């Protein structure tokens, strides 16, 4: 890759497990313990440590025990300026040391990875475009994707293409580009040729896997591509592969949860969607939309409606699903209102007329009976037959 590694150094007290787990995250390279641990019994001069280890960030931490309680503290420091960018403390009972260690490790690692990405995003926005590196383009593209709009999708595609101009073998940029084409295939008014877009999505996802098979994102995209072809078993293989690669990646869990719910896994995947929200406290709106979709597939209509009513326009199809869920709950007036909004916005996102025949293509459930029931409810809410 053409971007500089984002080194992280841990000082006294933080477990070796955290260092090992951090290395699983894309864009994070961790200084080896034999280099970093030689500072553990000395007074920490963060600026000097950063220079000597060529580390961009330093994480200081401590572990203290009092009776049956354990307290773990950690703080992320910018090694260039010495400023604190993140501080956290964890308290727990020492009833099961190993489970506590696993849980705290996961929480610290995920919080740190998210915080580092946020810092990089802020720095990327302050740089003039002609000085952007490939990773900066990836970060900006990812933020644009989270908007779930045609404009955001187009902007993200352009940013990922710029990243590939800098580094043609940047696997994440290929994966991001694949995601823009996958959405262009699903939201048929976003791209001129949706079928071609889906072919490009598969091509770029396969390219990303060939370049870096340890990245979960392209496997998630391939999962959705196969799902759209009703190849549910192949889709599940890729989604499970993605989660095995990095079980702490929030985006992977959220995207996989909804696809698996549509494939018939039902209530079993609600925990995945909820875990994604816990892992990424600053989650974009589509996380909750996907969680609500999992509730809908599990027959938990009240829970789905409660979530969707907070974010009715998180994705272009949200209103249609919300309308159906309201019908299932006997709230016909609310269902008609949401369907009217869906029909009004339909031409911005989908080709063809907003009718039952076109809309049913948006919901690739494994069980045809479930699709029929969903579309029937949408028609009761006002969707033309």
User: Same CATH fold, 127-244 and 7-126?
Assistant: no
Choose between 175 and 11: higher pLDDT. 175
Cα 185 from Cα 204, distance rounded (Å): 14
What is the predicted pLDDT for the residue at 249? 86
pLDDT band at residue 136 using 50, 70 and 90 as cut-offs: confident
Distance of CA 49 to the CA centre of its chain: 33
Which are the contacts of 225, defined by CB distance < 8 A and separation ≥ 6? Answer: 182, 198, 201, 202, 205, 235
Q: How much is the pLDDT for 103?
A: 60
If one looks up domain 127-244 in CATH, what number appears? 1.25.40.10
> For the domain 7-126, what is the CATH code?
3.40.50
Rounded to 5 degrees, what angle do the CA atoms 82, 36, 171 make? 85
Cα 64 from chain centroid (whole Å)? 34
Q: What pLDDT band is residue 3 in, cutting at 50, 70 and 90?
A: very low
Using the predicted structure, report yes or no on whether residue 9 has a pLDDT greater than 60. no
Cβ partners under 8 Å of residue 151, min gap 6? none
Q: What is the pTM of this model?
A: 0.68
Distance from C-alpha of 318 to C-alpha of 173, rounded to nearest angstrom: 28
Average pLDDT over residues 37-44: 58
Instruction: Render pLDDT for 306-316 as a digit per residue (tens, 0 to 9).
Output: 999 999 999 99
Please determine, for residue 11, whether its predicted confidence score (pLDDT) is greater than 60. Answer: no
Highest-pLDDT range among 222-226, 238-242, 286-290, 339-343: 339-343
Listed by start position, the domains of the chain span 7-126, 127-244
Q: Which one has a higher pLDDT value, 107 or 230?
A: 230
Average pLDDT on 353-369 reads 92
For residue 162, what are the contacts with CB-CB under 8 A and spacing of at least 6?
132, 137
């Amino acid at each position: 890759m053409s971007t500089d590694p984002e080194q992280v150094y841990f000082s006294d007290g933080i477990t070796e497990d955290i260092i090992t787990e951090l290395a699983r995250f894309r864009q994070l390279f961790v200084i080896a313990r034999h280099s970093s641990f030689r500072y553990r019994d000395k007074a920490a001069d963060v600026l000097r440590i950063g220079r000597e280890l060529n580390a961009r960030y330093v994480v200081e931490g401590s572990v203290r025990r009092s009776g049956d309680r354990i307290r773990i503290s950690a703080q992320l420091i910018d090694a260039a300026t010495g400023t604190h960018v993140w501080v956290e403390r964890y308290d727990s009972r020492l009833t099961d040391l190993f489970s506590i260690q696993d849980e705290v490790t996961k929480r610290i690692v995920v919080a740190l990875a998210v915080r580092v990405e946020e810092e990089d995003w802020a720095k990327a926005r302050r740089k003039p475009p002609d000085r952007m590196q490939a990773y900066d383009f990836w970060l900006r593209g990812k933020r644009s994707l989270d908007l779930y709009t045609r404009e955001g999708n187009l902007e993200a595609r352009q940013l990922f293409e710029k990243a590939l101009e800098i580094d043609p073998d940047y696997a994440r940029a290929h994966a991001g580009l694949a995601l823009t084409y996958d959405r262009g295939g699903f939201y048929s008014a976003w791209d001129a040729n949706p079928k071609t877009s889906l072919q490009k999505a598969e091509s770029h996802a396969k390219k990303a896997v060939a370049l870096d098979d340890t990245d979960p994102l392209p496997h998630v995209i391939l999962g959705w591509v196969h799902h759209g072809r009703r190849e549910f078993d192949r889709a599940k293989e890729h989604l499970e592969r993605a989660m095995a690669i990095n079980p702490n990646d929030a985006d992977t869990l959220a995207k996989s949860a909804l696809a698996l719910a549509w494939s018939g896994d039902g209530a079993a995947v609600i925990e995945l969607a909820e875990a994604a929200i816990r892992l990424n406290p600053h989650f974009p709106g589509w996380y909750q939309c996907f969680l609500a979709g999992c509730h809908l597939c599990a027959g938990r209509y009240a829970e789905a409606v409660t979530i969707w009513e907070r974010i009715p326009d998180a994705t272009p199809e949200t209103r249609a699903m919300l309308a159906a869920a309201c019908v299932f709950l006997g709230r016909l007036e609310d269902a008609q209102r949401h369907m009217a909004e869906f029909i009004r916005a339909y031409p911005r996102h989908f080709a063809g007329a907003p009718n039952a025949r076109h809309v049913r293509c948006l919901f690739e459930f494994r069980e045809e009976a479930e699709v029929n029931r969903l579309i029937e409810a949408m028609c009761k809410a006002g969707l033309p037959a």
